């Protein structure tokens, strides 16, 4: 019985150690990039922004959100740009 309790406590600590700490979301900067070039991995700017956002935050944003982000960066009114 004591071994099971110790094993349970150990497992709990291991699982807590595996959790990622909360961090600020990173917004990709696509200003100055040209779509469908090697710099954007041959993707559109919204597609590249979505992919970069996913790589940094492990969350996909919608195409509409990515398009709004790209348009804001091009116009110079962006967060993260």
Q: Determine the Cα–Cα distance for residues 46 and 53; give it in Å rounded to an integer.
A: 10
Alpha helix ranges (H) inside the chain: 2-18, 45-57, 63-75
Per-residue pLDDT, 1: 74
Tokens of 72: 């804001």
pLDDT digits (tens, 9 = 90+) for 5-62: 766 777 777 776 665 555 678 889 999 999 999 999 999 999 999 999 999 999 999 9
Q: Which residue has the higher pLDDT, 60 or 81?
A: 60
Q: What is this structure's pTM? A: 0.66
């Amino acid at each position: 019985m004591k071994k099971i309790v110790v094993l349970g406590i150990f497992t709990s600590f291991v699982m807590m150690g595996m959790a990622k700490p909360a961090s600020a979301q990173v917004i990709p900067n696509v200003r100055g990039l040209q779509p469908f070039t090697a710099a954007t991995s041959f993707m559109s700017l919204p597609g590249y922004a979505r992919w970069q956002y996913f790589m940094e935050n492990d969350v996909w944003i919608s195409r509409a959100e990515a398009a709004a982000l790209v348009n804001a960066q091009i116009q110079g009114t962006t967060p993260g740009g």
